[in-house]
Amino acid sequence: MKVDVSADFMTVVNERHSVRKYDPTVQLSKEELEEIIEIATKAPSSWNLQHWKFLVINDREKKEKLLPIAYHQEQVVQASAVIAVLGDLEAYKNAEPVYDAAIKAGYMKEEVKKIMVEQIAQAYETKPYMARDAAILNASLASMQLMLAAKAKGYDTCAMGGFDPDKLVEAFKIPDRYLPVMLISVGKAAKPAHPTVRFPVEDVTVWNSF
């Protein structure tokens, strides 16, 4: 089932909710999932290092394997796919290929690349928290973009932090380079998400200084 939808941004944002009940008969194709992920990869990232990797789990057997790791949340097996968003702890290694491509395309000069590569190396070497913080921060940006992309195409999602990351790594042979950040179920809602409330803007906003 291919859904070709291009909803306006405000509609997407206002209609996106965390869906936990999915129609198991609706299956997204590999092409559709790749289109959604491609849009997710357009998210911003520090130094454009693109600190993310997407483990797509859409095989029934593999979803059953994931179910206990995700504490038996039923959307894991009902949804068309579950995407494990992984943060890249060694994203500094992406600098050379990313910037070389930018130079080739005429977007960057060699001297700028040299400065940026040095900045990245220094940051990762001198700040012990950099690798983990950057992996989580930037993978989270891509995760939100992925959920909005799915909604724009007529699909529903749910971001899940409730899972055992160590067991996920072991069961799916995730290399040490990658840190599990979240699971995202993707599919078609079988029942609407339950309503939620949000704090008013004045309760969450501070202007200029506390």
Q: What is the 3-state secondary structure (H, E, C) of 93-121?
A: HHHHHHHHHHHHCCCCCHHHHHHHHHHHH
Query: What strand order describes the sheet that includes 52-57?
Result: 52-57, 81-88, 178-187, 156-160
Percent of the chain's residues with pLDDT above 70: 97
Whether residue 151 is predicted with pLDDT greater than 50 in this model: the reply is yes
Strand blocks (E) in the chain: 52-57, 81-88, 156-160, 178-187
Whether residue 67 is predicted with pLDDT greater than 60 in this model: the reply is yes
CATH 3.40.50.2300 assigned to 9-204: no
Higher pLDDT, 88 or 3: 88
- For the residues 23-41, what does the mean pLDDT come to? 97
Whether residue 1 is predicted with pLDDT greater than 50 in this model: the reply is no
Kindly report whether the global pTM for this prediction surpasses the value 0.85: yes
pLDDT band at 194 (very low <50, low <70, confident <90, very high): confident
pLDDT of 153-173, one tens digit each? Answer: 999 999 999 999 999 999 999
Task: Give the CA angle between residues 128, 129, 131 to the nearest 5°.
Answer: 95
